[in-house]
Amino acid sequence: MLELQAVGKTFGELQALHGIDLHVRRGTVSGLIGPNGSGKTTLVNIITGIYAPDSGRVLLDGKDVSRASADQITRLGVSRSFQNIRIFNRMSVLENVIAALIGHHKPGLATLLGRAKRIGDPRVTAARRALETVGLLEQGDLFANELPLPLRRRLEIARALACDPKFLVLDEPAGGMTPAETASISELIRSRIAPGRTCVVIEHKMDLISHVCEHLCVLNHGEKIAEGDPRSVVNQPEVIEAYLG
Amino acid sequence: MTDFLQNCIDGVMFGSGYALLALGFTLVFGVMKRLNLSFGPSIMLGAYAGTWVYLNFSQNVLLVVLVTVMITVAVGIYVERLCFWAVRRDATIASMVSSFVIWMQLEEVAMHLLPERTYPFPAFFTSTVIDIGPFFVRSEHISMFLLTLVLLALLHLFLFRTRPGLAVRAVSDNPLASRYMGINSSNVLFLAFAVVSVLGGLAGFLILSADSQVTPFFGLWATFKGLIAMMLGGMGSLPGAILGGLLLGVVEANAFWYGGPVVRDISAYLLLFMMLIVRPGGLVGQRIVAQQQAAYERV
Amino acid sequence: MLNDYLLTVISNIGMISLIALSAYLLLISGEISFGQQAYFGISAYAGAIATTLWGWPLWLALLFGSSLAALAAGFVGLLTLRISGLYFSIATLAFAEMVRLSLFKLSYQLEIDGELIGPNGAEGFGEIRWIFDNDVSVLEYTLLIYGILLLVLFCLVLIERSRLGMIFRMLGQDPLLTRIQGLNPVRYKVTAAILAGFIAGLGGTLYAHSFTYIEPQIFNVMLGVHALAYGLIGGLGTVLGPLIGVAIDIGFLESVRVFQGYRMIVFGGLVALMLIFMPRGILDENRVYRLKNLAQRWFRA
């Protein structure tokens, strides 16, 4: 499904990633963990085309997408959420999700000039379904900036989910949440989102990771230091040292 | 070739005035990453107040300088409070638009003060022509050039030898870090505006008295010349402002010589337009643009 | 009875509304242009040349002038793709000043009925006599202006409700996020620029024929800043916003005698205060959304 081959990235003097290899198999949920500044978000930005890698290749279904732009990659079926929440603040919750469905296929003139919120439009139906999945349907008519933080995270997930992506990246879906909210979001991911999808989840909270992921990859200082079954990986001495040291 | 060199000399002389105006823009931009388009009109209003005193009360040139500078500072502070301090800190564009509409206010106030189109401005310098080999320079331009150098030196002393100057540089380098160091950025902004207004008032006085007349168009003129010079040299960079001012002066002097006044003005805007498209940060200010871009794209 | 002065004010509101709408279209897609007066001016000159010197009918001249303006706007839009924020604003300003100054150099005169007619640099371009030659009354011309304004408003309302309009608003809020939704910002930024240029262009040709005399000085920065300010006062949530702004300035401030001579002071202060307390105008997105919901509920009950 997704394969990274020796991906490297430097910002000025700082080498953010050194030759990362990663393989995400179809239909699995992989976790990506690591201390702050270990390069997790940079890696996600490279996968989703916001940055181009300085070296190495990114393959999606065997196709080289290292140089593809972010919008092209999205149209190939990759969706993501953001660690520091990005939503369209001056639109309603429902409109935020509809927005994600316009560009899923390159829109032609007829699509562009059609009414965005026409009742019965398949996009509106799909957007409602996505909101229902994350439990936001009742808030659909609110303005997006009126939502409290945990619900904004859910809105991001709904938006990423709406176009039924082949590949989903969740960047800290439980960031800034209380334990109860975290538990609820990890149950949501496990039961409603993960089945039948390929996902990568970035998270600090180990209970979410162990609840959701079948495979775990640990980054530190831009290098992959461990990989494998979550339970065995977290007990490896390098990983413990990276987190404590 | 002699013509070209003569134009370059004229350009450098006049460009020093542009450089002073550009320094005003660049200091404010450096401190708060925002543009004050009312800078020129503030100076114009100051100069109008000076002229008004000159016409109605006293022929004393020093008094005119004092009034010009004081009113420029007062107007500068009014603009700062209304368009920058009161507007949300991250609303860069709102401040710029706001300073643009305040411009209309200032222009109308000036028109009420002195409703004619043109007024004499006290000539501070005696005007003679000095020959240097095959070239010549006007004495008032030399005086302006020298006084500009003095002002630059004073500004340099302020920024690099005093504590408030250090605070200004700290905020302009890294606002967040300087907040953590206990620097009150609102005070620094106020201070920067005051310093810049003093500088602008003096620059306005020098330029106008070399011209020995003042018109309401001076506001527009000063804003655009300062803005173009700053953007050519580099956003937020002090050496860039001087470089940009001189470059603009030289380009304009040559365009004027070979094409007349309209071509001179077009060439200045064309230069600005091309620079923004190719290198938005100007000759030496690209770092700031890169920083702003990075802050914006942080995901 | 409508007298001619009142009609002139009303038709003025209509024409200035067009340039305000043009600035508004860019405002909602996140770009602040100080240069829409350039397209207004290009079209004013081109349209007036077409009717006066080439004898074209007005509708064709209108199309010609506006298309030329749209073309120029698209060109500037392409050139300025890489820059945004204040860099974009200053670049549009520089372009508009270049256009205005170039008009000082534009001299293209033909002999018509024994007289030299056409733009002549700083002297301007007079004798744009289409209205007189075709016996169009002031009232009829005002109606024409409002017909075109209504057509533009209708199209803009359709765009606002369409997916294209949604994309413009997305771009205005977060271009990177828009890209992540699979939309290439380049296409839509240039589209918005072209549409805005065309709308400003419609206003320009109408303006030239209404006043019968134009000169480069009319198309200065202050026209562009006013156009921008109208949207910011009236609100960025609906196409009615800029119209409200125009009505407040021209309809109210210019007509009320108390403000005579102080209009700029009042207007400038008003806009500055609006930017502090209502940064997106009276009818901003949030209020428009609430009003729509309210209207819907009221409608059902």
Q: Which residues of A touch C (CB under 8 A)?
A: 48, 50, 69-71, 74-75, 80, 82, 86-92, 95, 98-100, 102-104, 106-107, 111-117, 141, 143, 163
> How far A77 CA sits from the closest chain B CA (Å)?
20
C97 touching B, CB under 8 A? Answer: yes
A37 touching B, CB under 8 A? Answer: no
The predicted pLDDT at position B141 comes to 80
Strand, helix or coil at A200? Answer: strand
Alpha-carbon separation of residue C130 from C103, C205, C210 (angstroms): 21, 11, 9
Give the span between the Cα atoms of A45 and A84, in whole angstroms: 13
Tally the C-alpha atoms within 13 A of residue A12's C-alpha that lie toward its C-beta.
4
Strand pairing class (C110-112; A167-171): unpaired
- Tell me if C167 and A141 make a contact (CB, 8 A cut-off): no
Tens of pLDDT, residues A160-192: 999 889 999 999 999 889 999 999 999 999 999
Position B239 pLDDT exceeds 90: no
Residue of A nearest to C175 (CA): A88
Q: Are C269 and B105 in contact (CB under 8 A)?
A: yes
> How far C261 CA sits from the closest chain B CA (Å)?
8
CA C198 to the chain's CA centroid: 9
Q: What integer is the mean pLDDT of B91-119?
A: 87
Q: Which of C187, C209, C274, C257 is nearest to C56 (CA)?
A: C209
- Tell me if C180 and A113 make a contact (CB, 8 A cut-off): no
C246 or B134: which leads in pLDDT: C246
The predicted pLDDT at position A107 comes to 87
The encoded tokens of residue A240 equal: 């413990």
Q: Which residues of C touch A (CB under 8 A)?
A: 158-159, 161-167, 169-170, 173-174, 176-185, 280, 284-286, 289, 293
Which position has the token pair 């996968």?
A47
- Tell me if B231 and C90 make a contact (CB, 8 A cut-off): yes
Alpha-carbon separation of residue A129 from A158, A159, A199, B236 (angstroms): 9, 11, 19, 50
Backbone φ and ψ for A92, nearest 5 degrees, come out as -75, 165
Top-ranked range on mean pLDDT: pick from A38-42, A103-107, C76-80: C76-80
Angle at which helix B218-233 crosses helix B39-56, to 10 degrees, equals 140
Radius of gyration, alpha carbons of chain A: 18
Give the span between the Cα atoms of A200 and A217, in whole angstroms: 10
The encoded tokens of residue B164 equal: 């408030």
Residue of A nearest to C236 (CA): A90
The predicted pLDDT at position C2 comes to 63
Chain C interface test: which of A90, A111, A124 (most C C-beta within 10 Å): A90
Give the span between the Cα atoms of B111 and B121, in whole angstroms: 16
Q: Looking at domain B2-297, which CATH architecture does it have?
A: Orthogonal Bundle (1.10)
A83 touching B, CB under 8 A? Answer: yes
A45 touching B, CB under 8 A? Answer: yes
Please give the interface size between A and B, counted as residue pairs whose CB atoms are below 8 Å apart: 9
- Tell me if B112 and C80 make a contact (CB, 8 A cut-off): no
Q: Which of C243, C169, C172 is nearest to C203 (CA)?
A: C243
Radius of gyration, alpha carbons of chain B: 19
Give the span between the Cα atoms of A219 and A243, in whole angstroms: 10
A118 touching B, CB under 8 A? Answer: no
Q: Is the dihedral of CA C54, C57, C58, C64 positive or negative?
A: negative
Angle formed at CA B229 by CA B225 and CA B235, multiple of 5 degrees: 130
The predicted pLDDT at position B11 comes to 87
Tens of pLDDT, residues A116-160: 888 889 999 999 999 999 999 999 999 998 999 999 999 999 999
Tens of pLDDT, residues A185-243: 999 999 999 888 999 999 888 889 888 999 999 998 888 888 988 888 888 888 888 87
Position B140 pLDDT exceeds 60: yes
The predicted pLDDT at position B172 comes to 78
Q: Which of B12, B81, B13 is nearest to B42 (CA)?
A: B81
Give the span between the Cα atoms of B144 and B240, in whole angstroms: 20
Q: Are B244 and B17 in contact (CB under 8 A)?
A: no
Strand pairing class (A78-80; A167-171): parallel
Residues 216 through 235 of chain A touching chain B, CB cutoff 8 Å? none
C135 or B296: which leads in pLDDT: C135
H/E stretch holding A22 reads strand A14-24
Residue of C nearest to B272 (CA): C94
- Tell me if C83 and B231 make a contact (CB, 8 A cut-off): no
Instruction: Kindly write down the DSSP assignment for every residue of B94-143, as one continuous string.
Output: HHHHHHHHHHHHHHHHHHHH--SS-EE----S---EEEETTEEEEHHHHH
- Chains in contact with B, where contact means 3 or more Cβ–Cβ distances below 8 Å, are A, C
The predicted pLDDT at position B133 comes to 75
Smallest Cβ–Cβ distance between C173 and the set A69, A90, A116 belongs to A90
DSSP state of A191: I
Chain B interface test: which of C101, C105, C217 (most B C-beta within 10 Å): C101
Position B42 pLDDT exceeds 70: yes
Tens of pLDDT, residues B45-72: 999 999 999 888 888 888 989 999 999 9
DSSP state of A3: E
Q: Is the dihedral of CA C63, C66, C68, C74 positive or negative?
A: negative
- Tell me if A99 and C170 make a contact (CB, 8 A cut-off): yes
- Tell me if B104 and C222 make a contact (CB, 8 A cut-off): yes
A82 touching B, CB under 8 A? Answer: yes
* pTM over the 0.80 mark: yes
- Tell me if C229 and B97 make a contact (CB, 8 A cut-off): yes
Mean pLDDT of chain A: 90
The predicted pLDDT at position C55 comes to 92
- Chains in contact with C, where contact means 3 or more Cβ–Cβ distances below 8 Å, are A, B
Q: What structural domains does chain A harbor?
A: 1-77+167-178+195-245 (3.40.50.300), 83-165 (3.40.50.300)
The predicted pLDDT at position B168 comes to 85
Residue A245 pLDDT class (50, 70, 90 cuts) = low
A41 touching B, CB under 8 A? Answer: yes
Give the span between the Cα atoms of C142 and C209, in whole angstroms: 11
Q: Are C3 and C61 in contact (CB under 8 A)?
A: no
The encoded tokens of residue A141 equal: 């008519």
The predicted pLDDT at position A232 comes to 87
Tens of pLDDT, residues A18-31: 989 999 999 999 99
- Tell me if A50 and B299 make a contact (CB, 8 A cut-off): yes
- Tell me if A90 and C286 make a contact (CB, 8 A cut-off): yes
Q: Is the dihedral of CA B162, B163, B165, B169 positive or negative?
A: positive
Residue B298 pLDDT class (50, 70, 90 cuts) = low
Give the span between the Cα atoms of C125 and C211, in whole angstroms: 11
pLDDT (tens place) for every residue of chain C, 301 residues total = 568 888 888 899 999 999 999 999 999 999 999 999 999 999 999 999 999 999 999 999 999 999 999 999 999 999 999 888 889 999 999 999 999 999 999 999 988 888 888 899 889 998 898 988 898 988 999 999 999 999 999 999 999 999 999 999 999 999 999 999 999 999 999 999 999 999 999 999 999 999 999 999 999 998 999 999 999 999 999 999 999 999 988 877 777 777 777 888 888 888 899 889 888 889 999 999 999 989 988 988 8
Q: What integer is the mean pLDDT of A101-125?
A: 89
H helical segments located in chain C:
4-28, 36-52, 58-79, 85-105, 130-133, 138-161, 163-173, 175-180, 185-211, 221-234, 240-246, 263-277, 285-300
- ipTM score for this prediction: 0.92
